[in-house]
Amino acid sequence: MAELPVSLERDGFLRSLIRELSGTLQDVVGLEQASGFISVVGQRIGEGIDSEYRAALGVRSLTREQVAEVLVDLKRRIRGDFYVIEQDDSKIVLGNRACPFAEKVDGRPALCMMTSNVFGVIAAENLGYAKVSLEETIARGAPGCRVVVYVQPTPEADLAEGREYFKG
């Protein structure tokens, strides 16, 4: 068949597939339940990514600084544009200018559970604890994302809305 002017390629197709799956989940079972299902997937993916980075770095456990670098690097590899805003002994604050799901994330905040779980699993597995707060997200209409990964259970972390993760 001759080359037709159809904008269909693997990356766009897969992002559309994930968008429709998450949208269907949100519509059928609600945002909270959809986020829960996507969380399970994110946890499994986070465990695999964590193992890969530790093996590549030849370490048994990542430091907080390495965790921050890994979070930025993994998102870069999947076309996100995360960067560290600040970090200290209790938290890592990340910004983001581009979602890996691109425009397909619009109106699909359940997809943000992928970020929460991947970040939370990696931080908790290496540092013992994490609480991920998705303060701003592109999926909810913000121009970028602001994600705080608390790596110690501080009073500030207690007050933040988010999901907690513990070393498995």
Taking only the tens place, the pLDDT of each residue in 107-166 is: 999 899 999 999 999 999 999 999 999 999 999 999 999 999 999 999 999 999 999 999
Determine contact, residues 153/129, Cβ cutoff 8 Å.
Answer: yes
pLDDT of residue 5: 86
CA dist 117 and 40 (Å) reads 8
pLDDT of residue 62: 98
CA dist 151 and 104 (Å) reads 30
Three-class SS state of 48: helix
Residue 146 domain-assigned?
Answer: yes
pLDDT of 3 > 90? The answer is no
Residue 2 domain-assigned?
Answer: no
Question: How many folded domains does the chain comprise?
Answer: 1
pLDDT of residue 4: 85
CA dist 107 and 140 (Å) reads 6
Which domain does 17 fall in, by range? 10-166
Residue 39 domain-assigned?
Answer: yes
Residue 3 domain-assigned?
Answer: no
Residue 106 domain-assigned?
Answer: yes
pLDDT of 168 > 90? The answer is no
Segment 61-119, tens digit of pLDDT: 999 999 999 999 999 999 999 999 999 999 999 999 999 999 999 999 989 999 999 99
Q: How far is CA 147 from CA 54, 58, 84, 112, in A?
A: 23, 28, 10, 10
CATH of the domain at 88: 3.30.1380.20
Q: How far is CA 78 from CA 11, 49, 96, 101, 159, in A?
A: 11, 12, 13, 9, 31
